[in-house]
Amino acid sequence: MSEMDPHDRIDMTGPWAGFGFQGGHMFTPEGHQLEPCDMAWWSLTCNIAREWRLMMEEARPRPLRSAAAGKPHPAKNSSVICLRDALRKRRERRLGMGDPDPAADASNVVHMRRGPRPGTRG
């Protein structure tokens, strides 16, 4: 049986290539060090990433198809909001994509953009 020194670097392989352990800490391929207490947030991070993927998939233009049967919204009559719906509504309001009031004036919003980026030192 071989002994592993926790201070030696242990690199992971396969789909985990780039991650590893050294000195009782995990490190990422980008070189970030993770404390053991940081790993308590992985579930939340994965759930946020899953919601983001779903939201981006829904935002992509798709070819027309038959209407799917609608399911009742789980957040109705509760204080929990669906992030995807809230962001979609905010984007529609901001871009004037909703059904505006016929008496409403046209939007005069000017979207500010940054100018050209300066060259970076390399």
How far from each other are the two terminal CA atoms of the chain, in whole angstroms?
49
Is the whole-model pTM more than 0.85?
Answer: no
Give the per-residue pLDDT at 50: 93
Query: Does residue 58 sit in helix, strand or coil?
Result: helix
Confidence of residue 18 (pLDDT cuts 50, 70, 90): very high
Give the per-residue pLDDT at 49: 92
Reference 9, options 1, 17, 25; nearest CA is 25
